Structure 1
Amino acid sequence: MTLWRSDRIDLIAFSMGGLISRYYLQRLGGLAKTDRFITIATPHHGTLAAYFLPFPGIKQMRPNSLFLIDLNGNLEQMQELVFVSYYSL
């Protein structure tokens, strides 16, 4: 019996985990290992709620943070995979 195996993954992330996952994909070589990327409630362009807490990771979720400017500066990389983002207003 053979099991189906692949060296590629599907990545699903929620909220800040979506930004961490994008860093993995865009900066740490994860694009070469990933087929699909799905985010749920991820603040890809920041969130005003991040101004309420002073923690470094939270500060990176502020609109126009250097972290988000860097990630969003070359979004064309993400065209290498299926990228779906679920959100609500």
Structure 2
Amino acid sequence: MKYSRLSQIIGAGILTLSMIVAPLTLPASAQVEIEREGIYEDNDFDWGWLGLIGLFGLAGLAGRKRQQTTAYRDPNRPGYGE
């Protein structure tokens, strides 16, 4: 199914317009700093170990390194069959 050039331009225009209008529809909010004690407590959990376990889990997605070996020797090569 081929789209005409006009429909592509209209689609790109609608997408661009929606990206411009979307931030304008959100309510404004000021940044207020509230200091709370203990908001970042980790309850003595070492999050570094969890990250390390996650990296080991992702290592399996890397795949294996395969070495391609030749299955035969060239019979025209010197020293073959002597």
Decide which structure has greater strand share.
1
Q: Which protein has the larger Cα radius of gyration, Structure 1 or Structure 2? A: 2
Asked which structure has the greater RCO (Cα within 8 Å, sep 6+), the reply is 1
TM-score, scaled relative to structure 2: 0.18
TM-score, scaled relative to structure 1: 0.17
